[in-house]
Amino acid sequence: MPAAFKTVALVGRYKSRDVAAPLRVLGRYLVERGCTVLIDQDTAAESGVGDFPVVDFAAIAAQAHLAVVLGGDGSMLAAARTLAPAGIPLVGVNQGRLGFMTDIALGAMTEAVGRIVAGEYATESRTMLAAGVVRGGQTVLALNALNDVVASKGASGRLIELTVRIDAQFLYDLRADGLIVATPTGSTAYALSAGGPIIQPGVPALALVPICPHTLSNRPIAVAESAALEITVKRGADARLHLDGQPQFDLAEGDRVEIRRAPHAVRLVHPPGYSYYAMLREKLRWSESLF
């Protein structure tokens, strides 16, 4: 049977030598099944695996029909930010810890990926965010995020003050350690730790989750994913902007962070039998005995 995905790119966990052996096993397995296999150049350099054509992300975006990420959620997030605009679907093999986005256990890797390339799979679209920083009327930063955009305090450790607007309507002034704007995918990440709701991926909503607000009545709120969000730094000389947990920009008082749904979504590929709710039970240990 011809492969459903003829060219498959392999992306490994950043700075991990442990990924070398499974990369070789999976790559050879895919070649035996008639796939052309590419390997990300950073993955090849870090792992020492050069058994397959080594290419950069631009080439993966241009040539691949599927990207298999061996790592944790951080590896999936990095791949999604780069490959989502090109429409390259992603599937994850878990080599991290929780792995909310990496469906496939390492021990089941070849069987699960084999079924996917044979055409047995389900696809899902996940909302991404487009974030920009406006300073003095000029956009000085524009990036995408899959999990969340966070405006937070900096090294001084002092509260910052933010003005939040939704569709140009004033929501509140917030004094807090920061504010998380999370997609449904990101609702099980930092936002969950800060007391935000879990949002099922099919729900077209974003969560605004204050981080340690000074006024305890400032609670998380879910808004339509079509909303245009504005966060202005009112006070907080060393505030910072993080996207998907990565520090991206030092904010200044008066900066405006604009956040909208990105024009493209991430396409995730799931193996047969995948269930979002089963994943939640497993990762959050909801079915474990308390005694």
Q: Which residues are catalytic?
A: 73
Rounded CA gap, 209 and 212, in Å?
9
Q: How far apart, in Å, are the Cα atoms of 149 and each of 159, 190, 271? A: 18, 10, 29
Rounded CA gap, 114 and 149, in Å?
35
Instruction: Give the angle 131-243-176 at the CA atoms, nearest 5°.
Output: 95
Element (H, E) at 71: strand 66-71
Residue 244 C-beta-side C-alpha neighbours within 13 Å: 20
DSSP three-state, residue 268: strand
Question: Which residues contact residue 246 at a Cβ distance below 8 angstroms, ignoring those fewer than 6 apart?
Answer: none
